[in-house]
């Protein structure tokens, strides 16, 4: 018996594989987490270049650089790449890296599915990018792909739809993995109400994904059949309705934006207690608030459609329901501030990003509340006011949280402290430039500038110029981030296991060595 076991032992105790095939075949959650985050970083830069093309054209009135058609392709792809190529994979990467370590599990429940979830992604994104080189170019109807406009598209349409399907399947599989892992593989003693909030927010996000991605898949399939197989889902001639697509899309689309933000809430709920040296205030409230936001996100979708001619009963219902989301969101903000309150804070780079998140995401929340009010939205809709809102929630919200998480957990991943000076420089340059980029856009929208236009009337020139300058500073500042990461991977001051003072009390991951071994929690902890 022992010989069999011994052989088994030796055979099993391998570290990571060698060479590039390690990355192709890995089922290790840490490797897959790294793959997701690397992809997300690259796509963030790609989406960023598209944004800079947009802002370069919008720097001054008149058309200087691109054809309006190409401009529309850029706005469409910028959004698709950022949402599906940068933010969602980044959070999936954080989930992969951190959830098993946080709940005391040795890996994800379905390691091979995990590998597949990741590898679908580069293929799908390449397919999407390839539409740029097809006749007629990439999709240009906005990331929302509204018919009838989208059905005027050329060769790219089936490829774009296929890419979207693959992205959806990847997300669904990742979501399944996360739910099963969290439900079935927590260490003994870790009840649901003892889980770190980052795990909670991801579980709720995973449920959202399971419910909405298939509906999105259905909607784009209907676009495909309308175009190629003679159906009339969205064609009035055949008894259909273009607005039906909008309902289907936003039934997916609204919870989707909560998919993009809930894990951010989780990240910030991990970071602030650590650097305030205080437990998270109101843990159960935070869980209930997150769950309420998740639930409410399903019943508010038509606030994206206030101007389509919905009957007034519909407009009013969606107004009231949407306004309600402000309540649990506010509760979360108050709880974060209460966590800071009377703590003993230090302001290392992750904390800077987390505090900036709370302040600036709140700005996005305020404009969201304004937009929820349908009569006011009759003026805001489809203007730069909306653009400002969602960039505050997505950039100073989701992206800041991802950056915060990266700085926070980099020492655990690499075993080295990142360069704190450069981290702070990255922070200040980004925060100042992001506000320069997006704050003026509120004024532009209120003053009458529509969105998705490549050129504008001269009274909008000044704020557009400021916004473009901000965008370029923001874009180039991210190169500092890339440098910081590469530098930390290759070397730097050795990180302790705990990394941050008192962090042991805030997460199981800080009881592990830094860098975290290839296999962790093969021996389970017991949680009291």
Partner 1 sequence: MDVAISGTLPHLDDCARDQIGNEVVPVLEDGDYALDYYGYSKKERTVGNRHRSHCSDALYRCDPQGNDGIIRTVNNSESRKVNKRLVWSIVFVAVGMFGFGFALVPLYNVFCEVTGLNGKVKTEAVADAGYVVDQSRELTIEFITSVNESMPLAFRAEKSKMKIHPGQYYTVKFYAENTTDRKMIGRAIPSVAPGVASEYLSKAECFCFSEQEFEPHKLREMPVRFVIDPSIPENVKDLTLSYTFFDITDKNRN
Partner 2 sequence: MNKIRRLLAGFGLVLWGESHADYALNLTSGVTEVSRDIHDLHMLILWICVAIGVGVYGLMIYSIVHHRKSKGVVPAQFHENTKLEIVWTIIPFLILLGMAIPATGVMIKAYDTSGADMTVKVTGYQWKWRYEYLDEGIDFFSTLDAKSNEARQLGANIDPTSVPNYLLNVDNPLVVPTNKKIRFLFTGADVIHSWWVPDLGWKKDTIPGFVTDGWAKIEKPGVYRGQCTELCGRDHGFMPIVVIAKTNEEYKQWVAEQKAKSEAVKAEATKNFSMDDLMAKGREVYNSNCAGCHQTNGEGISGTFPPIKGSPVATGPLAEHLNVVLKGKGEMMPAFEDSLNPVELAAVVTYQRNAFGNNKGDLVQPSEIKPQH
Minimum distance between the CB of residue 317 and partner 1, rounded to whole angstroms?
Answer: 11
Instruction: Assess 27 for contact with partner 1 (CB under 8 A).
Output: no
Instruction: Assess 443 for contact with partner 2 (CB under 8 A).
Output: yes
Instruction: Assess 291 for contact with partner 2 (CB under 8 A).
Output: no
Query: Which candidate, 279, 395, 408, places its Cα nearest to that of 349?
Result: 408
Could you say which of 26, 131, 329, 468 is catalytic? 329
CA dist 299 and 246 (Å) reads 14
Minimum distance between the CB of residue 60 and partner 2, rounded to whole angstroms?
Answer: 8
Residues 6+ apart with CB under 8 A from 499: 411, 412, 417, 510, 514
Cβ-based nearer residue to partner 2, 26 or 72? 72
Cα dihedral 377→70→481→406 (10° resolution): 60
Stretch that binds partner 1, among 30-38, 215-223, 404-412, 428-436 (CB under 8 A): 215-223
Instruction: Assess 2 for contact with partner 2 (CB under 8 A).
Output: no
Measure Cα distances from 199 to 97, 140, 186, 193, 266 in Å: 11, 37, 11, 11, 7
225 binds, among partner 2, partner 1, none (CB under 5 to 8 A by kind): none
Cβ-based nearer residue to partner 1, 143 or 233? 233
Q: Which residues in 295-334 contact partner 1 (CB under 8 A)?
A: 309-311, 313-314
Give start and end residues of each alpha helix (H) in 455-509.
Answer: 461-490
Exposure on the CB side of residue 68, measured as CA atoms within 13 A: 6
Q: How many residues does the chain have?
A: 528
Cβ-based nearer residue to partner 2, 376 or 527? 376
Q: Which residues in 319-348 contact partner 2 (CB under 8 A)?
A: 319-320, 323-324, 326-327, 330-331, 333-334, 337-347
96 binds, among partner 2, partner 1, none (CB under 5 to 8 A by kind): none
Query: Which candidate, 196, 184, 15, 176, places its Cα nearest to that of 99?
Result: 196
Q: How many CB atoms lie within 10 A of CB 16?
A: 12
- Select from 194, 277, 451, 452 the one that contacts partner 1 (CB under 8 A): 194
Instruction: Assess 488 for contact with partner 1 (CB under 8 A).
Output: no
DSSP 20: T
346 binds, among partner 1, partner 2, none (CB under 5 to 8 A by kind): partner 2
Residues 6+ apart with CB under 8 A from 492: 414, 416, 417, 418, 419
Contact between 396 and 357 (Cβ < 8 Å): yes
1 binds, among partner 1, partner 2, none (CB under 5 to 8 A by kind): partner 1
Instruction: Assess 160 for contact with partner 2 (CB under 8 A).
Output: no
Tokens of 452: 């998705």
Instruction: Assess 14 for contact with partner 2 (CB under 8 A).
Output: no
Whether 171 sits among the annotated catalytic residues: the reply is yes
366 binds, among partner 1, partner 2, none (CB under 5 to 8 A by kind): partner 2
Chain centroid to CA 11: 39
- Select from 69, 126, 155, 236 the one that contacts partner 1 (CB under 8 A): 236
Binders of partner 2: how many residues, by CB under 8 A?
97
Whether 304 sits among the annotated catalytic residues: the reply is yes
Query: Per-residue DSSP letters for 67-132?
Result: -HHHHHHHHHHHHHIIIIIIIHHHHHHHHHHHHHHHHT-SS-S-HHHHHHHHHHHHHHHHHHHHGG
The torsion angles phi and psi of 450, rounded to 5 degrees, stand at -70, 170
Chain positions contacting partner 1, by CB under 8 A: 1-2, 4-5, 7-9, 12, 106-107, 109-110, 172, 175-176, 179-180, 183-185, 188, 190, 194, 196, 210-219, 222, 230, 233, 235-239, 241, 243-244, 247-248, 251, 309-311, 313-314, 504-505, 508, 511, 521-528
Catalytic residue set: 78, 107, 143, 170-171, 254, 256, 258, 269, 303-304, 329, 332, 451
């Amino acid at each position: 018996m022992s010989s069999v076991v011994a052989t088994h032992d030796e055979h099993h105790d391998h570290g990571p594989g060698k060479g590039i095939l390690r990355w192709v075949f890995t089922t290790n959650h840490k490797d897959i987490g790294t793959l997701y985050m690397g992809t997300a970083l690259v796509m963030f830069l790609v989406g960023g270049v598209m944004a800079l093309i947009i802002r370069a054209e919008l720097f001054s009135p008149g058309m200087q650089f691109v054809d309006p058609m190409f401009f529309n392709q850029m706005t469409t792809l910028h959004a698709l790449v950022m949402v599906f190529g940068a933010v969602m994979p980044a959070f999936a990467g954080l989930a992969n890296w951190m959830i098993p370590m946080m709940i005391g599990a040795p890996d994800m429940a379905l390691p091979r599915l995990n590998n597949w979830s990741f590898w679908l992604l580069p293929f799908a994104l390449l397919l999407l990018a390839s539409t740029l080189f097809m006749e007629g170019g990439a999709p240009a109807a906005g990331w929302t792909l509204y018919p009838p406009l989208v059905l005027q598209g050329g060769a790219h349409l089936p490829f774009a739809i296929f890419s979207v399907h693959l992205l959806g399947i990847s997300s669904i599989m990742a979501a399944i993995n996360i739910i099963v892992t969290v439900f079935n593989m927590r260490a003994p003693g870790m009840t649901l109400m003892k889980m770190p909030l980052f795990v909670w927010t991801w579980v709720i996000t995973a449920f959202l994904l399971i419910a909405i991605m298939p509906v999105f898949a259905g909607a784009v399939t209907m676009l495909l059949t309308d175009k190629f197989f003679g159906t009339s889902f969205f064609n009035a001639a055949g008894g259909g309705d273009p607005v039906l697509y909008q309902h289907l899309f936003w039934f997916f689309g609204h919870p989707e934006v909560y998919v993009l933000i809930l894990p951010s809430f989780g990240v910030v709920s991990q970071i602030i207690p650590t650097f305030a040296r205080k437990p998270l205030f109101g843990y159960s409230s935070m869980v209930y608030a997150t769950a309420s936001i998740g639930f409410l996100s399903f019943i508010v979708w038509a606030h994206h459609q206030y101007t389509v001619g919905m009957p007034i009963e519909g407009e009013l219902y969606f107004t009231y329901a949407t306004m309600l989301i402000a309540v649990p969101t506010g509760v979360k903000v108050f709880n974060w501030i209460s966590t800071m309150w009377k703590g003993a804070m230090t302001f290392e780079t992750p904390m800077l990003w987390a505090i900036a998140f709370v302040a600036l995401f709140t700005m996005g929340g305020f404009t969201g509340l304004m937009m929820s009010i349908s009569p006011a939205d009759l003026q805001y809709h489809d203007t730069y006011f909306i653009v400002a809102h969602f960039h505050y929630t997505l950039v100073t919200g989701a992206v800041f949280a991802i950056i915060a998480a990266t700085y926070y957990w980099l020492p655990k991943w690499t075993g080295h402290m990142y360069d704190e000076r450069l981290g702070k420089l990255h922070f200040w340059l980004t925060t100042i430039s992001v506000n320069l980029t997006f704050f003026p856009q509120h004024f532009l929208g209120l003053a009458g500038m529509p969105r998705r236009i490549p050129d504008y009337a001269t009274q909008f020139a000044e704020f557009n110029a400021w916004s473009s300058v901000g965008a370029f500073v923001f874009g180039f500042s991210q190169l500092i981030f890339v440098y910081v990461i590469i530098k930390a991977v290759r070397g730097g001051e050795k990180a302790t296991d705990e990394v941050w003072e008192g962090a042991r009390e805030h997460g199981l991951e800080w009881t592990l060595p830094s860098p975290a071994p290839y296999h962790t929690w093969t021996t389970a902890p017991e949680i009291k």
